[in-house]
Amino acid sequence: MMTQIKNNIKDFGGYSIILKKMSTYCFVGTGILFVCYLYVVGSITFSVVERKGLEEQNRNLLSDIGMEELKYLAQEKKLTKEVAHNAGLIDAKNLVFTTKQSAFAWNAGR
């Protein structure tokens, strides 16, 4: 009976080495997966923060464009022929416009 117990203990000793290796691999694998998880969550977080910043810049640019359009419309009302003549512009003497003519097309099969 004692020899049988000793043999069982020796056999279990071989299993303990395997169990130690497997637990080591599990811990290392879990650590690697955790680092990958942190990388993915971090990259998602930084991309969301960057997108929010870009949206804020877009809103600011649209607001600036709107303000410039309002300035342009306000200045457009002040433009007159006297302002143009004072700026050195002159009236065109001979205005020539084209007349409407039909175009010649080669697609006669239509």
Average pLDDT over residues 65-76: 94
> In the predicted model, is pLDDT for residue 12 greater than 70?
no
pLDDT at res. 108: 59
Q: Kindly report the pTM of this predicted structure.
A: 0.49
The overall average pLDDT reported for the chain is 87
The Cα-based distances of 46 to 12, 34, 41, 53 in angstroms read: 50, 18, 9, 11
Token reading at 18? 């395997």
